Amino acid sequence: MKRIIAMILTATVSALILTACAGPGDIDVAAEDGAEKLDITALPSKFDLRNADGKNYVTPVKCQNWGDCWSFALAGAAEISYLYSGEMGVTAGEKNDQVNFSEKYIAWYMFHGMTKDDVIKGKVRASQVGEGFDPAEAEKERDLSAYFIGGPFVQSADLFGSGFGPVDESVSVNGEQPYAYNAESSVEWQLPLNAEYRCAPVSALFKDSRLLPPPAKTDEDGSYVFNREGIDAIKAELFMGHGVIVALNAAHPGFNNKKRAVYYSGDEEPNHAVVVVGYDDDYPKENFTRKNAKGNTVENSTPPENGAIIIKNSWGLNSNDGDIDDGYFYVSYYDTSLLSSLSFVFENAQKAAHAERNYDQYDLMMTQWYGVTEYDNETKTANIFDAEENESLYQIEYRTAFPDAEVTYEIYRDVESDDPSSGTLLEKGVRSHLYAGSHVINLDSEHSLKKGDTYSVVLTVKRGEKYAEVFPYSTRFFEGMTVNGIINKGESFLYTNGKWSDMAEQKDSLLERAYDQLCAENSALNKAVPTLEPDKNTFAVDNYPIKAILSAE
């Protein structure tokens, strides 16, 4: 018996330095099977990554110019995680400009799929050419900046997880085309579609993304409910030095300019993405209170309790609220638009066992959603790869689409073409994950592979007593854009009812499930992409999100 459910991972996409009461070294962080936890009661009441043990790990405020706040949030969060993991903090109060990840790289390559010129050993296989988003038709009729009006910060984690970026601004554009605003033309946005640019060297190695619980939830009647778990999760991730992104509603009058404090109490969806750099449990709720022209208090402008997260915005150069370095705001814990948050963990390449990674992967669509089908009986998913050269397999990566997932992985070598669990078992292990997201797992051993060796990564994913099949799917973002997922025979497999079946043979079934999950019974698609009507023909499904990470020997 199986049960189908939908896991929607989409978000709509909008200088006081505090002294931390304790530093990151004051609390032991326990890693339990890949899921890090902190004792929330042991966290300090204030924490700010601009002054963590006297060090600043936050890069300067930037200006987005276009509507691509999501790419600035992604870059800003990645910069924090990279600086922290590399112990690259500077003295608090000083500018930390040791890294400048390219927002333009993120925005461009997120929305431009694989071409034949992107094919490169260890990253993009020729079999995946054509996969991803294609805005060519839209670009004929619209300004080239069309896809920078809004974007998906949650899905864009797949870009990093596939080994594309983050890369430094100078590297990603070879110093030729930095992020620029030109009111007369958007030609500055074009980047080459080839391996030299898309597969530019990275210094920050992706390790984990975590879809955190939302600070704002709704009950069965659709009414707002404050979710303390969401705030606690943000606080814990910040304290561990992980960059955090949050979505909020920025198109409202709930801003106390004098206090630089933001509190929204309405029911509009979030429309802006920002980076969270700190929090203050005792930040006075009265600082959010606003007065009207007559000096009277604005109704519902004061949150119910104290407490605020500290955000870094991306309106620096054009902001009327202060100078370029004064782009920080306090947002109440009780802001009703704080629906989505995501954290990143990166590893500094200089400290990694292998600074350069090769990827065996088929899922390059840059997914918007992950569907989940639950089964009562044992169920597995797997990818079969053939080694492109003499390599050493030392990590795997996979996606979980729900919290508290338990994942059992198996690595086989010399497998048969239609049976991922045949051949020689090289390693087996179990990991648990507190949050949904993409997870890079260090294997217990490095396994040598010869060019041409056929090997597999097999996953058994469970939520409680149920087995889960996690599959990626997507739809276009606007008229004139297409999206393509390429599933070839012999790549991905599903094990149910005691036998393996090729995913290529069930693609139509997966498309039906994707459409039914997202469109048939609710308006999720309309909320995510309000300009589009649900259309089965705009959907695409991709291979199972299972990757092998290797180092050339």
> Using CB atoms within 10 A of its CB, is residue 107 exposed (0-12), middle (13-18) or buried (19+)?
buried
Most confident of the ranges 59-73, 151-165, 440-454, 516-530? 440-454
- Whether the CB-CB separation of 155 and 70 falls below 8 Å is answered with no
Task: Place 201 in a pLDDT band, splitting at 50, 70 and 90.
Answer: confident
Give the tokens for residue 43: 């966290």
Least confident of 271-280, 312-321, 494-503: 312-321
The candidate with the shortest Cα–Cα distance to 381, out of 304, 467, 508, is 467
In 3D, which of 509, 470, 504 has the Cα closest to residue 487?
504
Task: Provide mean pLDDT across the span 530-550.
Answer: 82
- Whether the per-residue pLDDT at 318 is higher than 60: the answer is no
Instruction: Output 453 or 140, whichever has higher pLDDT.
Output: 453
Distance CA 347, CA 242 (A): 11
CB-based burial, 84-106: b 16+ in 10 Å, e otherwise: bbbeebbebeeebeebbbbbbbb
* pLDDT, greater one: 368 or 130: 130
Region for residue 16 given its phi and psi (left: phi exceeds 0; alpha: psi -120 to 50; beta: otherwise) = beta
Superfamily of 2-23+34-346 according to CATH: Cysteine proteinases (3.90.70.10)
Q: Is residue 384 predicted with pLDDT exceeding 70?
A: yes
The per-residue pLDDT for range 468-505, each reduced to its tens digit, is 999 999 887 777 788 999 999 999 999 999 999 999 99
pLDDT digits (tens, 9 = 90+) for 234-264: 999 999 999 999 999 887 777 777 788 999 9
Paired tokens of 410: 């198996």
DSSP bridge pairs for 101: 168
Confidence bin at 203 (pLDDT 50/70/90): confident
**Residue 490 region, left (φ>0) first, then alpha (ψ -120 to 50), else beta?**
left
Whether 33 shows a pLDDT value over 50: the answer reads no
146 has pLDDT over 80:
no
